[in-house]
Chain A
Amino acid sequence: MPSLDTLEQVASRVSRGEAEEFQHIVRATSARLVRLAARILGSQEEAEDVVQEAYVKAYRSLVSGQFDGRAAIGTWLFRIVSNGAIDALRSRARRPVPTDRVPDGQGDGIGSAEAHLALRELDDWLGELPAEQRAALVLKAVEGLESAEIAKILGCTEGAVEQRLVRARAQLRRRRNDDE
């Protein structure tokens, strides 16, 4: 399996028509991408759907020569997945998930029961935030990325990222004060 350093070389082989090489990219990145999407969405099932769609988009871009190689493959995939998760959150807001939905249980996906409870807690807690603020907060405080990287991923300026973070934290603080 190629290391993360060679993903660009693998991507260039895919764009030259060696389609089977794409599986190396999937193997090297899927765990991190599913975890990222699950943290933004608070659901592993939705996360896997978003990541699947992201890989199909990435493959299409590689073979059609639309990927210009300006960003590292990892950052580019993070961007596609984050945007997919934001879109999923928006469509969830337009068509709310029924309150009696079947919860992501222990047998649903890989990870401890504690991890799935934590995902649920994250979803409930961040549920009221607008999708972009929620994604920025997860990328910063949960994934541990720098604002400059988050700006590249979300396709905005560092200032816009900081603004989203300040607003998200202020809303969470307000809610906490209301609850107390």
Chain B
Amino acid sequence: MSERRDPIEERLARLAEATDSIRPHPGFEARIADAVAAERAALSSLRASDWVFNVVQSGRLVLAAAALAAGIAVFSAVESAAAYDREAAVAYGTVELGAW
């Protein structure tokens, strides 16, 4: 006794077999190669712009550090000038013991 197949499964099996010969167009691989090359170029330019961005970011950091260092240098110069003036005022009018 032969088993009767579900008509839906039968139709799907027939369509599977009938579409087995589907292949990409000639030149499809070349089309993919072009698309991948374009993607590669886009990725490299993205990386280059990332590099520029990083340089600019690090430049900003360096600038901020330099400004801070300059501020500290000015502050310590002013401080040391003031200290010198104080020392000079104390020394004025005193007698050097060494002169005896």
| Chain A contact residues, CB within 8 Å of chain B | 19, 22-23, 26-27, 30-31, 34-35, 38-39, 44, 48, 51-52, 55-56, 59-60, 63-64, 109-112, 114-115, 117-119, 121-122, 125, 137, 141-144, 169, 172-173, 176
Name the residue on B nearest A170 (C-beta): B8
CB <8 Å contact, A144 and B16: yes
Contact (Cβ within 8 A) B39 A59: yes
Interface string of B2-16 (1 = CB under 8 A from A): 000001110111111
Binding site secondary structure of chain B: helix
CB contact list, B1-43 vs A, under 8 A: 7-9, 11-16, 18-26, 28-29, 31-33, 35-36, 39-40, 43
Q: Which of B7, B13, B22, B35 contacts A52 (CB 8 A)?
A: B35
Instruction: Tell me the complex Cα distance, A17–B20, Å.
Output: 35
Q: Closest Cβ of chain A: how far from B33's Cβ, in Å?
A: 6
Known: A39-B16, A118-B19. 16 other contacts (CB 8 A): A52-B35, A63-B40, A109-B23, A110-B21, A110-B23, A114-B21, A118-B14, A118-B18, A119-B22, A141-B9, A141-B12, A141-B16, A142-B12, A143-B16, A173-B8, A176-B7
The 3 A-B pairs at the shortest CB distance, nearest first, are namely A118-B18, A110-B23, A141-B12
In the assembled complex, 15 residue pairs joining A and B whose CB atoms fall closer than 8 Å, in A order, are: A23-B29, A26-B33, A30-B24, A30-B29, A30-B32, A34-B24, A38-B22, A48-B24, A52-B35, A55-B32, A59-B39, A118-B14, A118-B18, A137-B12, A141-B12
Q: How many A-B residue pairs have CB under 8 A?
A: 105
* A38 B12 Cβ-Cβ under 8 A: no
User: Which residues in A have their C-beta under 8 angstroms from that of B20?
Assistant: 35, 115
Residue of B nearest to A60 (CB): B39
Determine if B43 and A56 form an interchain contact, defined as CB atoms under 8 angstroms apart.
Answer: no
Which residue numbers of B lie inside 8 Å of A, CB to CB? 7-9, 11-16, 18-26, 28-29, 31-33, 35-36, 39-40, 43
Known: A109-B25, A118-B18, A141-B16. A60 touches B11 (CB 8 A): no
Q: How far is the CA of A115 from the CA of B8 in the complex (A)?
A: 19
Residues of B within 8 Å of A59, CB to CB, are 36, 39-40
Residues of the A chain whose Cβ atoms lie less than 8 Å from the Cβ of B13: 141
Residues of B with C-beta under 8 A to A26: 29, 32-33
**Cα separation A94 to B14 with both chains bound (whole Å):** 30
Given A31-B23, A34-B24, A48-B25, A56:B15 Cβ within 8 A: no
